[in-house]
Amino acid sequence: MTIAFLFFLACGDGGIEEQAVPDALTRPEPDPAQMEAWRCAGRDWTHSGAFPGDASAPPVECWRLETGGTTFAWPVAAPGIVVVADEAGHVVAADPATGEERWRADVGEPVRGAPALTDGSVYLSLGRGAVVSLDRVTGTVRWRVELAGPCDVGPTPYGNFLYVPDESGALFALDGLTGGVVWVYAATSPILAHPAVDERCVYFASQDGMVGALDRRTGEGVWSVRVEGRAYGGVTLAGGALYVAARSGQLAALDPADGALAAQTTLGQPPVGLPVVTGGVVVLAHDGAKVAALSADGLTELWQAGLGDYPGGGAAVVGGTVVCPTWFGTLRGYNLNDGTKLWEVKLGGMCDAPPVCDDEGRMLVLRRDGVLICFKISTEVPA
């Protein structure tokens, strides 16, 4: 494996020019408390997929918003803002309380994965191989940088950095403020899974089954191991373990300190979405038209529940409720403890994205036709 240290600065025309010292390495990093409100796929940089609140009762629809195009990107919600994007390149920011459109931008290319939101920026991965930064308040383009190949995975922000993989096998660490390329890691095969991050490392999984940890500031290798199958969906870092799902149906739990295998099991079917981890339980939807819950420590099966049809984008956990949309437009809630079905809501259209929640009792579901639906849930944490 090769690490290339590239010190560049993004230009306004999408090119890059040489930069003597990467600002991201010398600039003070945000306080951890400040980053608590940052959002990306699976809620934050750990991709745990667990949200606060109580979704045990049937959710009540509040409003709808249309992007105007087909979408495969996931929605994202942060305090005071929700952002959605589509295949036509439309990016829409709305008020989560009312659904009122705040601004609309056109980035000219399909948007893939989930947007990432920090205090002042909206970051997007473009399917043809670029990352763009928009002003969070106005939607104005701040910078754009080209990647080495197509990208179907949304950016993951942490500290001064933005981590983005592409299908060439490159994992980029960008300066979130300027778009400067701080370092690039060359994996041995395409990376189609969201990387996870903590204070020490960025963790990735590639299509040849390689899982690795890199120093998040320098890109230097910390450890690498091989797991069975092609990594898919994302790497989830939660509860002191690193969870990696493969297209073969394999699910592995690794020690983030050294990559040692802690547990492994098979679902028998390809997974859909990210492994969701909360309260000692791992939840994962799969192609067998089911959602499964396993113990986080030993990956022993706790329960499986039928979805009725193909899962749409994967599951999320809201408080003590597993929420999973289906491809043909049904949203269902299940008790996290035993898999009992609690409720069912018709969405009126196909769905390819897991639901997301804000911290104020709202759950958002994005249909494939670009319609974003907001539901009211309780902000109380269930006993």
Question: Using CA atoms, how far apart are residues 132 and 176, in angstroms rounded to an integer?
Answer: 10
> Which DSSP string do the residues of 112-156 spell out, in sequence order?
EEEEEE-SSEEEEEETTTEEEEEETTT--EEEEEE-SS---S--E
167-214 tens-digit pLDDT = 999 999 999 999 999 999 999 999 988 999 999 999 999 999 999 999
Whether the pLDDT of residue 105 is over 60: the answer is: yes
32: left (phi over 0), alpha (psi -120 to 50) or beta: alpha
Q: Report yes or no: 377 and 361 within 8 Å, Cβ to Cβ.
A: yes
Task: State residue 378's pLDDT score.
Answer: 83
- For 270, phi then psi, to 5°, come to -60, 140
Q: Report yes or no: 29 and 221 within 8 Å, Cβ to Cβ.
A: no
Mean residue pLDDT across the chain: 92
Task: State residue 382's pLDDT score.
Answer: 55
233-260 tens-digit pLDDT = 679 999 999 999 998 899 999 999 999 9
Give burial (CB, 10 Å; 0-12/13-18/19+) of 2: exposed
Whether the pLDDT of residue 18 is over 50: the answer is: no
Whether the pLDDT of residue 12 is over 60: the answer is: no
Whether the pLDDT of residue 10 is over 50: the answer is: no
Whether the pLDDT of residue 140 is over 70: the answer is: yes
Q: How confident is the model at residue 2 (pLDDT cuts 50, 70, 90)?
A: very low
Task: State residue 42's pLDDT score.
Answer: 95
Task: State residue 232's pLDDT score.
Answer: 72
Q: How confident is the model at residue 316 (pLDDT cuts 50, 70, 90)?
A: very high
Q: Report yes or no: 52 and 357 within 8 Å, Cβ to Cβ.
A: yes
- pTM, full prediction: 0.93
Helix, strand and coil percent figures for the chain, each rounded to 5:
0, 50, 45
CB neighbours of 121 closer than 8 A, spacing ≥ 6?
A: 133, 134, 135, 136, 142, 176
Which H or E run contains 35?
A: helix 32-35
Give burial (CB, 10 Å; 0-12/13-18/19+) of 369: middle
Q: Report yes or no: 41 and 115 within 8 Å, Cβ to Cβ.
A: no
What pairs with residue 285 in β-bridges? 272, 291
> Which DSSP string do the residues of 205-252 spell out, in sequence order?
E-TTSEEEEEETTT--EEEEEE-SS-EEEEEEEETTEEEEEETTSEEE
Q: Indicate the SS3 state at residue 378.
A: strand
Q: Indicate the SS3 state at residue 272.
A: strand
Q: How confident is the model at residue 229 (pLDDT cuts 50, 70, 90)?
A: confident
Whether the pLDDT of residue 345 is over 50: the answer is: yes
Q: Indicate the SS3 state at residue 181.
A: strand
Q: Which two tokens stand for residue 187?
A: 């994996």
User: What whole-number percentage of the chain has pLDDT above 90?
Assistant: 86
Order across the sheet with 90-94: list the strands: 76-78, 81-85, 90-94, 101-106
Q: CATH homologous superfamily for 2-376?
A: YVTN repeat-like/Quinoprotein amine dehydrogenase (2.130.10.10)
31-63 tens-digit pLDDT = 999 999 999 999 999 999 999 999 999 999 999
Task: State residue 375's pLDDT score.
Answer: 98
Task: State residue 14's pLDDT score.
Answer: 39
